Structures are given as C-alpha cells and as structure tokens.
Structure 1
Amino acid sequence: MSQSIDNLFGMHTGALALWQRRTEVLAGNLANADTPGYLARDVDFRAALAAAGDDARLRLSAPTPGQIDTAAQAADTLAYRVPTQPSMDGNTVDAQQEQASFAANGVHYQASLAFITAQVRMLRTAITGGQG
C-alpha cells in the first residue's frame, strides 16, 4: 500500500511552506522598518485556510449560503498589517511587533520540522527493523 508524501506528513509539508513564506515577509518588514511610506505585510491565515479548504478533505461548510466568503479571501494570502501607532512618514512597521512575530513564526516552523523529522525516523526504524 503506497501513501503519498503529503498524506504521510499531514499538513506539515504545506505548513512549512507557509511558515517559510511568512519568515520572508516578516524579514522584509524588518528590513524596511526605516523606509518612509513602507506598508508592513503579513500572511493572511484566513486566506491560507480558505485556499487549503479547496481540498476535499478540508471543505468548509456553512449552514446558509454566503455565510463564509472564501472566494475573495483566497485570492492572495498576504495582507497589509493594521498599524498600532501611526508614524509621521507613513511607515506601518512596528519593529517590536515584527520581531515578536518573527520569533513566534520560527517556533511554528521548528515544530512542523520536528514532526516531519520524527515521522522520517519512525519510517527509517520500520524499514530497517531497528537496525542502525
């Protein structure tokens, strides 16, 4: 019986890609913290969930039609961050918030990577019969 890699590692293969993309976006925000007029962005997890909802296994259901509008949200998973404090130069990057988000994102990435690593070890043990 053959299993595809996506089924073998569950949602973690897709999650790694999402965490990597978020790392790049947050790094870009931090790099432009002093750029006048720069608008901070972040991954829109609702849009990412809606895009994942296109999979038959993760279908979203609504009791009434139109209750969950996923079509508009799935168009782009990046959204502009709402600034907590306005700045005079129009920059919406809050360096402390970005650094905290960057650190939390790293924890999520490491958790997904640890799960995949554990699955690979389990498979290696099953294949070799614990020898090696």
Structure 2
Amino acid sequence: MAISFESALGIHESAFKMRAQRAELLADNMANVDTPGYKAKDLDFRQALARQSGETSGVNLAATNARHMQGGNSSELGNPDVMYRVPQQPSIDGNTVEEHIEHAEYMKNALDFQASFQFLNGKFKGLTSALRGE
C-alpha cells in the first residue's frame, strides 16, 4: 500500500513553506528600513493558504475578449499573495517600513513557523511508528 505524503501531511507542509517565504519577506523589509523609497511587502497568510489548498474566495474574473487584462494581485516577485503594506505613519523619504512592526510580525511568524515545524514533526513521527508497526 502506497503512502501519499500529501494526504498524510495535510496542510502543514504548505503552511511551513509559506511561513518560510513570509520570514524572507519580513527580513527583506528589516534590511531595507533605511532605504529611501522602499515599500514594505508582506504575505496575506490566510489568503495564500486558501489558494494553496484549492479554496478560492472573492471574485473570479473571466476574460471574454483576447484584449482583456488578467485580473488579480501582481507583484514583482511573481507571487499574487505578496502585497505592499500600508504604513501607520509614512516617512518623508517614501520608505514604508516601520521597524517596530516588522520586528513584531517577524517574531509572530517565527512562533507560527515553529508550530508548523512541530506539527510536521509529529506527523512524521506518527508515520514512522506506523511503518514500524508500533
């Protein structure tokens, strides 16, 4: 009998990957806190996870003419879930990174990343014990 890792691991694998991607975006934001004109980016985790699991929400756009533009969010990274963050207090130089918010979001994401890791670890331990017949 074959084991499907996709069904065995569930949504935890996708959540783990998205947490890693979000950590990268937040680290980029913190690295560019003093760069004039830099726009802070973030990942809408719920929307990204829903898209990854096949659930869609919102409006579905249909192109009825060859000259219609494709709908949806776009970003320079090519990921439709990456969006620009709206600052609470804009800076004069156009930079939208707020260091205290980035640090808080990074720490929350790190805790969620650790939780996803523990869920995956538990799933693998369960698979290992099932294979051993324990």
Same fold (TM over 0.5): yes
Aligned to 2:96: 92
Letter aligned with residue 4 of structure 2: S
Letter aligned with residue 3 of structure 1: I
**Range 27-36 or range 69-78, more displaced:** 69-78
- What does the per-residue CA deviation read over 1:34-67, in whole Å, with 9 as the maximum and x for residues that have no partner? 11111000012354145235x3xx465xxxxxxx
Q: Which runs of 5+ in 1 are unaligned?
A: 61-67
User: 2:130 aligned with 1:126, yes or no?
Assistant: yes
Aligned to 1:111: 115
TM-score normalised by length of structure 2: 0.79
For 1:117, what is the secondary structure of its paired residue?
A: helix
Aligned to 2:59: 69
User: 2:47 aligned with 1:51, yes or no?
Assistant: no
Aligned to 1:3: 3
CA 1:74–1:42 in 2, change beyond 3 Å: closer, same or farther?
same
Cα shift at 1:124: 1.6
Letter aligned with residue 20 of structure 2: Q
Aligned to 1:64: none
Letter aligned with residue 83 of structure 2: A
CA 1:5–1:38 in 2, change beyond 3 Å: closer, same or farther?
same
Distance 1:46 1:122 in 2: 27
Distance 1:70 1:50 in 2: 14
**Range 37-46 or range 26-35, more displaced:** 37-46
Higher helix share: 1
For 2:119, what is the secondary structure of its paired residue?
A: helix
State whether residues 50 and 70 of structure 1, in contact with CA within 8 Å, keep that contact through their aligned partners in structure 2.
Answer: no
For 2:42, what is the secondary structure of its paired residue?
A: strand
Cα shift at 1:97: 0.3
Cα shift at 1:32: 0.2
State whether residues 51 and 74 of structure 1, in contact with CA within 8 Å, keep that contact through their aligned partners in structure 2.
Answer: no
Cα shift at 1:122: 1.5
State whether residues 33 and 98 of structure 2, in contact with CA within 8 Å, keep that contact through their aligned partners in structure 1.
Answer: yes
RMSD in angstroms over aligned alpha carbons? Answer: 2.0
Distance 2:45 2:109 in 1: 13
**Range 3-12 or range 91-100, more displaced:** 3-12
Percent of aligned positions with the same letter in both sequences?
39
